Structure 1
Amino acid sequence: MRQALPLALAALLLSGCASHKPEDFNGTWINQDAIKAAIKGGSLRQALNEHGPVLEWKLDVANQQASFSNGFEAVDGQLTSNEKQMQANFQGSLVEQLMLDGDELKTTDQSGSEQNFVRSKLPGNAPLGGSFEKALYQAYLGGDWKIIDGDGKGGVVRFADNGSVTGLPGPDRYALCLAGDCADMGGSNDSMWLERNQRGAPFIFKRDDDRLEIFRAVNRAQPDEKPQLAAGARQWVLERD
């Protein structure tokens, strides 16, 4: 009897840890590790590269749909299940293994590389990749930024999570370059797009904790080469209150 009770409790605990229903996979999952690394300072590109490439998953068990975003493109595939995990299959024989570990979604690709995701707290009707972007924008650029150097000195700038910006002389929209051609053009530099009335230009930026420097982007490539953007004249220095 003394042995039976501990064994029964152990079995109960183990079964509880593994008791995930297929529908528990449903929803939008974002790469919180990448966001945490980014807000520590340093290079945004490096944080995303080290904790990527996938930034967001959307899973729909009932319709056997799996989609992911890497910040540049959206990829749709088919979701299948077995007793303990899900498998996402994509064109080109790309396969990802998905399993739940507590409140986290863990994924493993064919090379054995693993990533962790947490469930998004935003409404599920956001476009693929939008939930990660909003969460990143809130954490990375949220709050009040004071212009301490540049046009509009003394003013307060606010970067909203929907891509709008107020208080920065000229532009009223922004987007961080996360991946793909947009990011590749900046090389090792972090870059963003600033625009007004659908007319804009790329800028190089450097963020160090609560200090943000924004530079004009200079293209150092030849006319027949892919653009290679480098930091030109500094336009603004912002500090977050």
Structure 2
Amino acid sequence: MRKALPLALAALLLGGCASHKPEDYNGTWINQAAIDAAAEGGSLRHALRAHGPVFEWKLDVARQQASFSNGFEAGDGQLSAVGDEWEARFERNYIERIKLSGKALQVTDPNGKQQDFVKPEQPAPADAPLGGSFEKALYKAYLGGEWKIVEGQGSGGVVRFADNGSVTGLPGPDRYALCLEGDCATMGGENDTLWLERNQRGGPFIFKREGDKLEIFRAVNTALPDEIPQLTPGPRQWVLERS
């Protein structure tokens, strides 16, 4: 009996450490930690910055392809096996090490920083651009549900932000996009920014989120005409509260 327990424990440990099959790596993986942090209802930029810089990976073992998105740019590299792990090699010999730990995909950059990714519950359509699955999950977690207009045009109405980028109930725009990275985000400095449009015509707005309260401000450009735009909050357009 004394020998039976150690043998059973050893078998359990060996079973838990069994190698994953190559095809287990296939598919789209998203940064759920960044989404969970944003869903707490604070600053979007702070949440993404704390858990970035990469928000989505897409791996194809058969084609030896690895792609990632940081919310603005996408990178394509070559995927190859190295012992029990994999590595994605990009331009200028930039290498990310990749392995599976349970249901999580662990990616480690050359500086030793590790990020974990999981399979999305509802992946974006197959023809969606890289990063679409992360955006879909983020939009649902951050802006999902019903928001009542308590101040501004359309007061008393109900606004719904869909995870596909459409918005209903907000007077004027019918499409929106949260600015995650790139020019759309950096123009706002430390402020959170989003894009609102109708019939493919629109512009950036500043927003502030505190729990179930969302304030949207018109963006004012304080830069000179020959400078990179610098956006600050202007007149407040709407105050929304999530029910």
Q: For the residues of structure 2 that align with 1:5 and 1:139, how far apart are their CA atoms?
A: 45
Q: Secondary structure at the match of 2:214?
A: strand
Unaligned runs of 5+ in 2: none
Q: For the residues of structure 2 that align with 1:5 and 1:105, how far apart are their CA atoms?
A: 32
Give matches, 1:16-35, under 5 Å: 16-35=16-35
Q: Secondary structure at the match of 1:119?
A: coil
**C-alpha root-mean-square deviation of aligned residues, in Å?**
1.4
Compared CA separation, residues 83 and 9, structure 1 to 2 (3 A)? farther
TM-score of the superposed pair, with normalisation by structure 2: 0.95
For 1:136, give the aligned amino acid. L
Confirm whether residue 130 of structure 1 aligns to residue 132 of structure 2. Answer: yes
Q: Equivalent residue for 2:72?
A: 72
TM-score of the superposed pair, with normalisation by structure 1: 0.96
Q: For the residues of structure 2 that align with 1:50 and 1:70, how far apart are their CA atoms?
A: 13
Q: For the residues of structure 2 that align with 1:17 and 1:160, how far apart are their CA atoms?
A: 41
Q: For the residues of structure 1 that align with 2:129 and 2:227, how far apart are their CA atoms?
A: 33
Q: For the residues of structure 1 that align with 2:237 and 2:202, how far apart are their CA atoms?
A: 15
Q: For the residues of structure 1 that align with 2:12 and 2:208, how far apart are their CA atoms?
A: 52
Runs of 4+ in structure 1 deviating by more than 4 angstroms, as ranges, are none
Alignment check: 8 A CA contact 2:26 2:59 kept = yes
Q: Equivalent residue for 1:59?
A: 59
Give matches, 1:211-222, under 5 Å: 211-222=213-224
Q: Equivalent residue for 2:195?
A: 193
Confirm whether residue 164 of structure 1 aligns to residue 166 of structure 2. Answer: yes
1:182 maps to which of 176, 181, 184: 184
Q: For the residues of structure 1 that align with 2:166 and 2:83, how far apart are their CA atoms?
A: 45
Q: Equivalent residue for 2:10?
A: 10
Q: How many aligned positions are there?
A: 241
Unaligned runs of 5+ in 1: none
Please state how far the C-alpha of 1:82 moved relative to its aligned partner.
2.8
Please state how far the C-alpha of 1:43 moved relative to its aligned partner.
1.2
Q: For the residues of structure 1 that align with 2:231 and 2:155, how far apart are their CA atoms?
A: 26
Please state how far the C-alpha of 1:13 moved relative to its aligned partner.
2.3
Alignment check: 8 A CA contact 1:104 1:118 kept = yes
For 2:57, give the aligned amino acid. W
Q: Equivalent residue for 2:84?
A: 84
Q: Secondary structure at the match of 2:19?
A: coil
Q: Equivalent residue for 2:205?
A: 203
Q: Equivalent residue for 1:225?
A: 227
Q: Deviations over 1:102-154 (max 9, x none)?
A: 11111100000110111112246142100000000000000000000000000
Please state how far the C-alpha of 1:100 moved relative to its aligned partner.
0.7
Confirm whether residue 42 of structure 1 aligns to residue 42 of structure 2. Answer: yes
Q: For the residues of structure 2 that align with 1:87 and 1:53, how far apart are their CA atoms?
A: 18
